[in-house]
Amino acid sequence: MLEITGAEYVEDYKIRLRFNNDQAGVVDLKDALWGPMFEPLRDLSAFKRFRVSEVLHTLCWENDADFAPEFLYDKMVEEAHPADAAAPRIS
């Protein structure tokens, strides 16, 4: 099961993530912040207050918004290597 083991704020809506499969990189969540749960996170001060949930093992915020680790991993890979985005994920 894919889990986030660490996260740190970079800039704007970008977060550097570390996963339990020894992969790491930066994900830009700006385009993912839509809908009732995520729109409040467009406020950068709210966005920066994320944490890694000890229960869900992913990013979560005070308003209970969270992204699945698989979504974050796939987005990170796509942004780093757009041509490789269609490659299957190894868990």
Q: What pLDDT is recorded for position 19?
A: 97
Mean pLDDT over each residue of the chain, to the nearest integer: 91
Query: Which domains are assigned to the chain?
Result: 4-84 (3.30.2020.10)
**What percentage of the chain has pLDDT greater than the value 70?**
89
Q: What pLDDT is recorded for position 79?
A: 86
Q: What pLDDT is recorded for position 58?
A: 96
Averaged pLDDT, 20-44: 96
Q: Are 79 and 26 in contact (CB under 8 A)?
A: yes
Q: Name the residue among 88, 91, 63, 66 with its Cα closest to residue 15.
A: 66
pLDDT band at 43 (very low <50, low <70, confident <90, very high): very high
